[in-house]
Structure 1
């Protein structure tokens, strides 16, 4: 039976025995025949930029409630703050009321960070980081369902860029286990951000809110990154990504309302309706889904349903990735049409092109068949 929860909440045991049940098998079978938007699956991987939200972490490590949603994260932080005695009991009670009543949980999280920080404009040092380290302890031991991470790495192998609003580094941990030279980036490191934005950090993951292990602390307000948002070089190269790449939002619920994401990509990018981005969402309510679909088109975002229950999310991402990775790069096609060697030997193809054409490209990319993949 499909879960009837509002994305990205996960209730009970969604994976284990339930996914192995006849109902789970039926869901998987139905998922295999789902149609994909051709405008999406025909994208070259290097033309995509993945935006990873809490839904990805929730699917990968369902045993850590703090990864399931902003609400769960705030509740877990409050529990840790109470245990560590770094927040007055009265403040803990007040914030718990806000978690129940407030609609904008990002504002609540921001207020919580400020409460645990010095009474200055500087967000560091703070106890918020200590609480996150408590709730995210030993993340590598909690990776139960790496299907989505495998799919993301497969796309990264082919040039897809990745940024995340998450504090955790589950993707980097898993990637390192697979032998990938993963790199966690922070917006405060200008040189590294510029390298990443220009495509020079292949396995880099940009954490726009920071990383829980970062001693500088994390922020949810653009004022915390005022040096970044006021730097024209950084802002131009980041906004250019939003104009030239197709952003694919995975497991994102509140990302477009996120102040930092808005400051980096939305506020100053004009003619957004002319862009083509994509967002995978849970279709729990048809009226809400189709209204969201219409609203997001005004931002140049095509909203796509991966199913009506969260269990379908990992397999949908896996199948979607397989479809995208089937696409042949234009460079590979050019090699095939110019030589009789096809894609069996890229080095030989390069030499052949050099012998037969004075206009041969200086750089030839490997085709999909030449790049190792995670199955």
Structure 2
């Protein structure tokens, strides 16, 4: 059974599931998918560091202790901060600085060694690729993808599927502009950087001063927030993320007029509906995938399948190697054969008429 059949079968089995019409009727190229830690946690549950920012920092501190690259007193102090502090991005920023030279430069640093220890041999830990398969299906049909995650699970999985995946960093202006304009089909923009290149990892806007002060880059990125529908998947505190705010939220007026979407766990009714009301002020419609994280992979798979069914204006030119193109290949072939037969008939009739 191929990917499309699996996704279609899943959709049929869950036909009772309700989705917002305004979301599932979007063309894939109208969306920008924002992947958070929930995606990585679903794909590789065997790596605790992928479950959340808190889990990641705890794992880094454990590695720092085992590798003896951070003073025991500092390890204890940061563990307390990870447990008590709400703004974990600030804690992460301070931790990176602590493990870096006093000059404020982030290279060389021991943080890289700790991350390499935490994220060692990622592809071997991919257990539930359903979400990644769904994301690839959307990318094949034009959805842009960015992530706040350090890991490259999506790229590793895509490479296994023979896709020319690229990991992009905000500091590469040329690539960022190409990606934003839809010219890097299999590009994944890591707005915090990637663990394989910690020198490019930044946790606050000051680290991307050149980016945020570049009017061309900022206009292109903020234009995405105005013209695309962002789909937040596996995201928790993304809107509180300083880099995300600097890139997409600042200077974007009338957010309530926008139409973005956030898929979340429904932990409690009061909390969920309050969150829903609050997010509408940002132009974000919050929807629930269920009351258990176990429902997350199936929901995303089903949602992506329904969106991918939308017929795009250039559907007749969809490459047969795409997720839906393979399903339409037989239909297209029959259509061409029927058209050829019809043309041959018309030619014969014309010849017969001329002969008479």
- Give the match for residue 278 of structure 1: 261
**In the alignment, is residue 93 of structure 1 matched against residue 76 of structure 2?**
yes
Structure having the larger proportion of residues in helix: 2
Aligned-pair CA distance for 1:43: 0.1
Contact 1:32–1:319 (8 Å) recurs in 2: no
Alignment of 1:194-205 (within 5 A): 194-205=177-188
Q: How far apart in 2 are the matches of 1:159 and 1:224? A: 30
- Give the match for residue 95 of structure 2: 112
Q: How far apart in 2 are the matches of 1:273 and 1:343? A: 42
- Give the match for residue 344 of structure 1: 332
Contact 2:116–2:195 (8 Å) recurs in 1: yes
Aligned-pair CA distance for 1:114: 1.1
- Give the match for residue 201 of structure 2: 218
Q: How far apart in 2 are the matches of 1:321 and 1:45? A: 9
- Give the match for residue 140 of structure 1: 123
Q: Of residues 243, 253, 267 in structure 1, which corresponds to 2:226? A: 243
Q: Go from structure 1 to structure 2 and tell me whether the alpha carbon gap of 1:29 and 1:333 turns closer, same or farther (over 3 Å shift).
A: closer
**In the alignment, is residue 81 of structure 1 matched against residue 69 of structure 2?**
no
SS of 2:33's partner is strand
Aligned-pair CA distance for 1:272: 0.8
**TM-score for the superposition, normalised by structure 1:** 0.81
- Give the match for residue 360 of structure 1: none
Contact 2:146–2:189 (8 Å) recurs in 1: yes
Q: How far apart in 1 are the matches of 2:126 and 2:287? A: 27
What does the per-residue CA deviation read over 1:14-44, in whole Å, with 9 as the maximum and x for residues that have no partner? xxxxxxxxxxxxxx99954210000000000
Aligned residues: 319
Q: Of residues 8, 17, 39 in structure 2, which corresponds to 1:56? A: 39
What does the per-residue CA deviation read over 1:68-115, in whole Å, with 9 as the maximum and x for residues that have no partner? 000100000000001111111000000011111111111111111111
Contact 1:53–1:252 (8 Å) recurs in 2: yes
Alignment of 1:161-172 (within 5 A): 161-172=144-155
- Give the match for residue 111 of structure 2: 128
> Which structure is larger by alpha-carbon Rg, 1 or 2?
2
Q: Of residues 46, 49, 53 in structure 2, which corresponds to 1:70? A: 53
Q: Go from structure 1 to structure 2 and tell me whether the alpha carbon gap of 1:78 and 1:182 turns closer, same or farther (over 3 Å shift).
A: same
Contact 2:171–2:200 (8 Å) recurs in 1: no
Q: Of residues 46, 55, 78 in structure 1, which corresponds to 2:29? A: 46
Q: Of residues 154, 163, 168 in structure 2, which corresponds to 1:180? A: 163
Aligned-pair CA distance for 1:120: 2.2
SS of 2:264's partner is strand
Listed as ranges, the gaps of 5+ residues in structure 2 are 1-10, 319-329, 341-356
- Give the match for residue 287 of structure 1: 270
Q: Go from structure 1 to structure 2 and tell me whether the alpha carbon gap of 1:80 and 1:32 turns closer, same or farther (over 3 Å shift).
A: farther
- Give the match for residue 192 of structure 1: 175
**In the alignment, is residue 264 of structure 1 matched against residue 247 of structure 2?**
yes
Contact 1:55–1:68 (8 Å) recurs in 2: yes
Q: How far apart in 2 are the matches of 1:119 and 1:30? A: 57
Aligned-pair CA distance for 1:345: 5.7
SS of 2:293's partner is coil
**TM-score for the superposition, normalised by structure 2:** 0.85
Listed as ranges, the gaps of 5+ residues in structure 1 are 1-27, 336-341, 353-375
Runs of 4+ in 1 over 3 A off after TM superposition: 28-32, 331-335, 345-349
The two structures, once aligned, show a CA RMSD in angstroms of: 2.4
